Amino acid sequence: MGHICNGTRLYQDALNHIYKTDVVVIDFQEYNSDEATMISVVYALLNAMSDVLGIDINDISGCLKGVYNQQKAAVDYAIVLFDTVAGGAGHVRRLLNETVLKNVIAAACDRMKGCSCDTSCYNCLRSYYNQHWHEQLDRHKAYKFLTEYIGEISKVGLTNVERTHKIRLLNDGLPTKTKD
Protein backbone atom coordinates (compact mmCIF):
# COMPACT_ATOMS: atom_id res chain seq x y z
CA MET A 1 0.00 0.00 0.00
CA GLY A 2 2.83 2.35 0.80
CA HIS A 3 5.29 3.92 -1.54
CA ILE A 4 8.93 4.77 -1.40
CA CYS A 5 9.50 8.26 -0.03
CA ASN A 6 11.55 10.34 -2.38
CA GLY A 7 12.23 13.06 0.17
CA THR A 8 15.89 13.95 0.34
CA ARG A 9 15.92 16.74 2.91
CA LEU A 10 15.02 16.56 6.56
CA TYR A 11 13.98 19.63 8.53
CA GLN A 12 14.13 19.97 12.27
CA ASP A 13 10.98 21.61 13.52
CA ALA A 14 9.23 22.26 16.79
CA LEU A 15 5.57 22.28 17.65
CA ASN A 16 4.31 24.81 20.11
CA HIS A 17 1.31 26.76 21.14
CA ILE A 18 0.82 30.10 22.86
CA TYR A 19 -1.26 30.53 25.97
CA LYS A 20 -1.73 33.16 28.62
CA THR A 21 -0.57 32.39 32.12
CA ASP A 22 1.02 33.95 35.20
CA VAL A 23 4.74 34.55 34.81
CA VAL A 24 7.28 35.77 37.36
CA VAL A 25 10.79 36.75 36.36
CA ILE A 26 13.46 36.62 39.04
CA ASP A 27 16.45 38.66 38.01
CA PHE A 28 19.51 38.19 40.20
CA GLN A 29 21.12 41.10 38.45
CA GLU A 30 24.77 41.65 39.21
CA TYR A 31 25.17 38.32 40.87
CA ASN A 32 24.49 36.22 37.84
CA SER A 33 26.07 32.87 37.28
CA ASP A 34 26.64 30.16 34.70
CA GLU A 35 23.94 28.15 32.98
CA ALA A 36 24.39 24.95 35.01
CA THR A 37 24.07 26.85 38.26
CA MET A 38 21.07 28.84 37.15
CA ILE A 39 19.12 25.88 35.76
CA SER A 40 19.84 24.04 39.01
CA VAL A 41 18.41 27.02 40.87
CA VAL A 42 15.28 26.91 38.68
CA TYR A 43 14.51 23.32 39.67
CA ALA A 44 15.50 23.86 43.29
CA LEU A 45 12.99 26.72 43.48
CA LEU A 46 10.24 24.79 41.70
CA ASN A 47 10.60 21.80 44.05
CA ALA A 48 10.68 24.09 47.07
CA MET A 49 7.56 25.93 45.86
CA SER A 50 5.79 22.62 45.55
CA ASP A 51 6.78 21.69 49.12
CA VAL A 52 6.19 25.03 50.81
CA LEU A 53 3.02 26.05 49.01
CA GLY A 54 1.52 22.61 48.53
CA ILE A 55 1.43 22.97 44.77
CA ASP A 56 1.47 19.99 42.44
CA ILE A 57 4.89 20.15 40.78
CA ASN A 58 3.24 19.66 37.39
CA ASP A 59 1.26 22.88 37.83
CA ILE A 60 4.39 25.04 37.74
CA SER A 61 7.41 25.16 35.51
CA GLY A 62 10.38 27.33 34.73
CA CYS A 63 13.18 28.13 32.36
CA LEU A 64 16.07 30.52 31.90
CA LYS A 65 15.97 33.73 30.00
CA GLY A 66 19.44 34.46 28.74
CA VAL A 67 20.58 37.86 27.55
CA TYR A 68 24.05 38.41 26.20
CA ASN A 69 25.90 41.04 28.18
CA GLN A 70 28.45 42.67 25.89
CA GLN A 71 30.36 44.36 28.69
CA LYS A 72 30.92 41.10 30.49
CA ALA A 73 31.14 39.10 27.26
CA ALA A 74 28.90 36.56 28.92
CA VAL A 75 25.25 35.62 29.13
CA ASP A 76 23.18 36.96 32.02
CA TYR A 77 20.42 34.65 33.12
CA ALA A 78 17.11 35.54 34.67
CA ILE A 79 14.85 32.87 36.05
CA VAL A 80 11.36 32.61 34.60
CA LEU A 81 8.74 30.72 36.59
CA PHE A 82 5.23 30.23 35.30
CA ASP A 83 1.97 28.43 35.92
CA THR A 84 1.42 25.62 33.46
CA VAL A 85 -2.33 26.02 33.73
CA ALA A 86 -3.72 28.14 30.92
CA GLY A 87 -4.95 31.43 32.32
CA GLY A 88 -2.67 31.05 35.35
CA ALA A 89 -3.62 29.52 38.69
CA GLY A 90 -1.97 32.23 40.80
CA HIS A 91 0.81 29.92 41.99
CA VAL A 92 3.94 31.78 40.88
CA ARG A 93 2.24 35.07 41.68
CA ARG A 94 2.51 34.13 45.35
CA LEU A 95 6.30 34.61 45.13
CA LEU A 96 5.70 38.33 44.97
CA ASN A 97 5.09 38.11 48.70
CA GLU A 98 8.50 38.61 50.29
CA THR A 99 7.88 36.17 53.13
CA VAL A 100 6.76 33.47 50.74
CA LEU A 101 9.85 33.98 48.59
CA LYS A 102 12.11 33.80 51.63
CA ASN A 103 10.48 30.60 52.78
CA VAL A 104 10.80 29.07 49.32
CA ILE A 105 14.49 29.95 49.08
CA ALA A 106 15.15 28.62 52.58
CA ALA A 107 13.34 25.38 51.75
CA ALA A 108 15.30 25.07 48.50
CA CYS A 109 18.58 25.46 50.45
CA ASP A 110 17.51 22.83 52.99
CA ARG A 111 16.67 20.37 50.26
CA MET A 112 19.93 20.99 48.38
CA LYS A 113 21.98 20.63 51.55
CA GLY A 114 20.03 17.68 52.86
CA CYS A 115 20.53 15.33 49.92
CA SER A 116 23.38 12.85 49.87
CA CYS A 117 23.91 12.36 46.14
CA ASP A 118 27.03 13.54 44.31
CA THR A 119 25.46 16.20 42.11
CA SER A 120 21.75 15.55 41.55
CA CYS A 121 19.17 12.81 41.92
CA TYR A 122 15.40 12.34 41.93
CA ASN A 123 15.25 13.39 45.58
CA CYS A 124 16.70 16.83 45.04
CA LEU A 125 16.70 18.17 41.47
CA ARG A 126 15.94 15.59 38.84
CA SER A 127 12.58 14.67 37.40
CA TYR A 128 11.26 12.92 34.35
CA TYR A 129 10.56 16.29 32.78
CA ASN A 130 14.03 17.77 33.14
CA GLN A 131 15.97 14.83 31.70
CA HIS A 132 17.53 17.16 29.19
CA TRP A 133 19.35 18.88 32.07
CA HIS A 134 20.21 15.90 34.28
CA GLU A 135 23.92 16.00 33.52
CA GLN A 136 24.14 19.68 34.38
CA LEU A 137 21.98 19.76 37.49
CA ASP A 138 24.10 20.24 40.59
CA ARG A 139 22.66 20.66 44.06
CA HIS A 140 25.95 22.08 45.41
CA LYS A 141 25.91 24.87 42.83
CA ALA A 142 22.26 25.66 43.55
CA TYR A 143 22.91 25.67 47.29
CA LYS A 144 25.95 27.93 47.03
CA PHE A 145 24.04 30.38 44.88
CA LEU A 146 20.83 30.45 46.91
CA THR A 147 22.47 30.76 50.33
CA GLU A 148 23.71 34.17 49.20
CA TYR A 149 20.09 35.28 49.25
CA ILE A 150 18.98 33.99 52.62
CA GLY A 151 18.14 37.00 54.73
CA GLU A 152 19.10 39.32 51.92
CA ILE A 153 15.93 39.32 49.92
CA SER A 154 14.30 42.56 49.12
CA LYS A 155 11.46 42.99 46.74
CA VAL A 156 12.27 46.02 44.72
CA GLY A 157 9.55 45.91 42.14
CA LEU A 158 10.42 47.61 38.92
CA THR A 159 13.03 49.99 40.30
CA ASN A 160 16.75 49.59 39.91
CA VAL A 161 18.66 47.44 42.28
CA GLU A 162 21.05 49.36 44.50
CA ARG A 163 22.94 46.54 46.11
CA THR A 164 24.24 43.26 44.94
CA HIS A 165 22.66 40.18 46.46
CA LYS A 166 19.26 41.64 45.89
CA ILE A 167 16.69 39.96 43.81
CA ARG A 168 14.72 41.94 41.33
CA LEU A 169 11.37 40.29 41.28
CA LEU A 170 9.18 41.28 38.42
CA ASN A 171 5.62 40.49 37.75
CA ASP A 172 6.23 42.30 34.58
CA GLY A 173 3.34 41.27 32.48
CA LEU A 174 4.92 38.89 30.08
CA PRO A 175 1.49 38.19 28.70
CA THR A 176 2.16 34.91 27.00
CA LYS A 177 4.47 32.01 27.31
CA THR A 178 5.35 29.75 24.45
CA LYS A 179 5.37 26.18 25.52
CA ASP A 180 7.26 23.45 23.71
DSSP state of 128: G
Q: Does 48 bind Zn ion (CB under 5 A)?
A: no
Q: What is the CA radius of gyration of the chain?
A: 18
Please identify which residue in 36, 85, 89, 121 interacts with Zn ion, judged by CB under 5 A.
121
CB 111 within 8 A of CB 46: no
Among 105, 115, 146, 170, binds Zn ion (CB under 5 A): 115
Closest approach of Cβ 119 to Zn ion, in Å? 8
Angle ∠(21,22,28) on CA atoms, nearest 5: 135
Among 124, 137, 146, 169, binds Zn ion (CB under 5 A): 124
Minimal distance, residue 120 CB to Zn ion, in Å: 5
Tell me the site size for Zn ion, rule CB under 5 A: 5
Determine if 150 is a binding residue for Zn ion (CB under 5 A): no
Evaluated on CA atoms 154, 156, 162, 168, the torsion sign reads positive
Q: With binding defined as CB under 5 A, does residue 108 bind Zn ion? A: no
Return d(Cα 116, Cα 88) in angstroms, integer: 35
**Interacting residues with Zn ion (CB under 5 A):** 115, 117, 121, 123-124
